[in-house]
Amino acid sequence: MKIGFIGLGIMGKPMAKNILKAGYDLTVNNRSQPAVAELVAAGAKHAENLEIGATCDVVFTMLPNSPQVRSVVLGEGGLAQAMRPGSVLIDSSSINPLASKEIAAALSAKGVEMLDAPVSGGEPGAINGTLSFMVGGKQSVFERCKPLLETMGASMVLCGDVGAGNTTKLANQVVVACNIQAVAEALTLAQMAGVDPHLVLEAIKGGLAGSAVMNAKGPMMMEGNDKPGFKIDLHIKDLNNALDCAHSVGAPLPMTASVQELLQWLHNNNCGQCDHSAIAKYYEQLTGIRIGR
């Protein structure tokens, strides 16, 4: 089975490396060539998108947002022009579910299958092969591609038809964003009340308040570590998609709208490329303290 992978960013590069480690024949492409060179050095081949579409049985895309996925798949020189009937596109980008359905319909007209399969787990999960895949598409296609997903993830759940994967990812991103905001508020409260936030985190993480978000992002806030596992600008993109989806179906998302304003403030203050745990900087600006320091 020949696999293609387009989009070798923070998430895509380690995901592609794990496909290689599993022994698959892999061809890659990316706008930035150093990432391509790194994958080629690890054993992959390089080709342009049309050639990847024409020669690969399954093609992964891991791109920033809906317009980029549309362009790579449906644009001039895009995958749809070359993919063979029976081949599969697996889009692991986090995009608007309506865009996923649009792209799937265009591919279906050419006999090409599609799964929308965004992930959760951040860069550490991508490196360690422990991502969670939230998948939309046909059961038969999911079962055929599941061994591939297992090279990169520890969990993969078929959530419904195409579009369901990205709807689930939007729900995931809402929970993560609101959780990060809550952690930053709670640790700010602790420090301003004279209690060591390191001890507060240690005391509460084993109880009901504990979460993977708290365990991962609380220490980063207290260390002032802004190295991105997931960038604020990307989280803004995901929450914009969540709010757009919510407006289209009439779902109320007041907490999401609130945390989106905080993230937008951070973007406007030169923090867009920081990890989303840098939401703590918003509270530091308000209070004049630095959590845990």
Residues annotated as part of the active site = 169
Q: How far is CA 152 from the centre of its chain?
A: 13
Q: How far is CA 250 from the centre of its chain?
A: 25
CB-side neighbour CA atoms (13 Å) of 75: 8
DSSP conformational letter for 195: -
Q: Are strands 131-136 and 119-120 parallel, antiparallel or unpaired?
A: antiparallel
Look up residue 106 and give its two tokens: 């265009």
Residues 75, 48 contacting (CB under 8 angstroms): no
Q: How far is CA 279 from CA 33, 102, 177, 208, 238, in A?
A: 32, 34, 9, 22, 16
Q: How many residues does the chain have?
A: 293
Q: How far is CA 172 from CA 31, 43, 255, in A?
A: 28, 34, 14
Residues 57, 88 contacting (CB under 8 angstroms): yes
